[in-house]
Structure 1
Amino acid sequence: MWQEPIIATVAIFALLALGEYISVLSRARIPTLMTAMLGFLIFTWIGVFPEDILDLSTLPSLGALLIGPLIVHMGTLMRFDILKSQWKAVVIALSGLIGSLTLVLTLVTLMFDFPTAASGVGPLSGGVLALLITNERLTELGMTSLIVVPVLVYAFQGIVGMPISTFFMKRYGHLFMTGQINAKDTAKVSLKEEPVKYKFMQNERTGTYLVPTLLAPVSVLEFSDELGMAQTSIDKSKEVIEIHKESFTRAYKAGVKIAMGTDAGVFKHGTNLRELELMVECGMTPMDAILASTQTAAECMGYTDLGLIKEGYVADFILTKENPLDDIGVLKTNEEIKVVAKEGNVFKNIM
């Protein structure tokens, strides 16, 4: 039965599926590959799997095909300028990597031998790609008895690594949320990313929209005393206001679907149309600002009968004295809005 490549491959993937299921149930406390590797070892030891099941499956050929593309992809995940801006993190990561490799090569060599130590350091630093490359090289050298070492290292490192990573990520998140880490520095990193990131955000399958609420930090600074804003909110608004505008401009130029929103509660009700003026100041055309407030906003909320003056749509509209395409600021002034109609009923008419 195991001589059939498809059966051997399905059996291995079944172990991976079981590992993924257990990982989900344990909220990643038990890594997927740890379960899969333990299952593989147990089934091999008790004779359910033949010792050469990996060779009988299609996985070695598949791995050989994927190593090249995976290496290229991993090498393009972060641009050099981003790494340069985060040089402290790079130094810390490299220091930890060099230290751990030195420690493993020294201690394991003293306890066993150098080949055993060397076979385990690959997955410790390079993950699944290093595991595949290490196992391939060990097979070429005829040292198949050591293949279990990198497998176990890769499977079990998550038991120690995941809790440590989680601890420090939670600590960083706490420092960020409490304002002990400069939000401006964090936000600047995202601004250096290519506009293509924002194009991904508007992917039709995700239905993602950007609702910038440019007025929110502006209003915090304008009405902080009157509204009793906390000092931390005031400081944060001062730090991010220009970054906020710049990110909006980048998103707009990249073609992101932008809907006008209010973040109501930060500023006085009835002044939300100032958002359109801020959008235009950041590079959006007056017509696009109007569309963001009508058609796109309706789409964002899932309405199919709002946002357009069109047959079959709800008759919600306003009339202004001046043309907002010439001066979008007229929309923020109540006196300039002469007619307000809701569902076909006129609630204001000072024509």
Structure 2
Amino acid sequence: MFTSMFFYLFICLLIFGIGDVLGVATKAKVSALFVSLMLFLVGFMTGVLPPDIIKLAGLTDIGKWSLIFVVFSMGISLNIKQLIAEWRTVAVAVLSMIVLIAGSVVLIPVIGYQETIVSIPIINGGIIATQIMTSAAMDKGFAMAAALGTVLYAVQKFVGTPVASYFGLRAAKEALA
């Protein structure tokens, strides 16, 4: 009974649903993604969830296909006029990416070349960059680089999401006032 793909899919969707409900209930003070990641982490560490639940739920194949649609959608939804109007934001983002790349290059002797190359887009990007880079690393046989990239993404979300939620809500309140 509990070996069906649909059962594992239900469990994954339930976890994401709990995250969404708590995110809405706290008015984004607690991120839905943060809650979902924490529930998965606790489930993995306690042994309640199998470590390959995403694969058992059939979400790995869906993830590969959805990635194409998400990247395409992001590309066609860019508003060039608004991007030009927000040139300061774009400049800060580009500058921060350059600083991150320079800092990462300095770390190559410490963490390794493959690990650094996989990690740079993950830190600069998000879940899509994590999917692309970890998949490419695994295809090339760089399991440690893929693992480091995944850990970096998780740490970035666990540390950065509450801070980003706080400042985002603060900016929204200022904009509405």
TM-score by length of 1: 0.43
Deviation of the 1:110 alpha carbon: 6.6
Which protein is richer in helix relative to its size? 2
- Report what 1:124 is aligned to: 123
Query: May I ask how many residue pairs the two structures share in their alignment?
Result: 173
Q: 2:151 aligns with which of 149, 152, 177?
A: 149
Q: 1:159 aligns with which of 133, 141, 162?
A: 162
- Report what 2:33 is aligned to: 33
Deviations 1:143-180 (A, max 9, x none): 15436414414532312333344445556x38xx7xxx
Which ranges of structure 1 fall in alignment gaps of 5 or more residues? 178-351
Question: Could you say what secondary structure the match of 1:54 adopts?
Answer: helix
- Report what 2:135 is aligned to: 136
- Report what 2:61 is aligned to: 61
Question: Could you say what secondary structure the match of 1:36 adopts?
Answer: helix
Contact kept in structure 2, 1:2 and 1:53, CA below 8 Å: no
Look at both structures and tell me which one has the larger radius of gyration over its CA atoms. Answer: 1
Which letter maps to 2:53?
A: I
Deviations 1:89-133 (A, max 9, x none): 321222233334444x25765764454444444343322221221
Which ranges of structure 2 fall in alignment gaps of 5 or more residues? none
1 CA distance for matches of 2:106 and 2:22?
A: 33
RMSD, aligned α-carbons: 2.9
Contact kept in structure 1, 2:29 and 2:169, CA below 8 Å: no
> What's the % identity of the aligned pairs?
19
Does residue 22 (structure 1) correspond to residue 22 (structure 2)? The answer is yes
Contact kept in structure 2, 1:2 and 1:50, CA below 8 Å: no
- Report what 2:91 is aligned to: 91
TM-score by length of 2: 0.77
- Report what 1:10 is aligned to: 10
Deviation of the 1:51 alpha carbon: 1.9
Contact kept in structure 2, 1:135 and 1:147, CA below 8 Å: yes
Does residue 48 (structure 1) correspond to residue 51 (structure 2)? The answer is no
Contact kept in structure 1, 2:130 and 2:149, CA below 8 Å: no
Which protein is richer in strand relative to its size? 1
Deviation of the 1:53 alpha carbon: 1.6
Say which structure, 1 or 2, has more relative contact order (CA 8 Å, 6+ apart): 2
Deviations 1:268-288 (A, max 9, x none): xxxxxxxxxxxxxxxxxxxxx
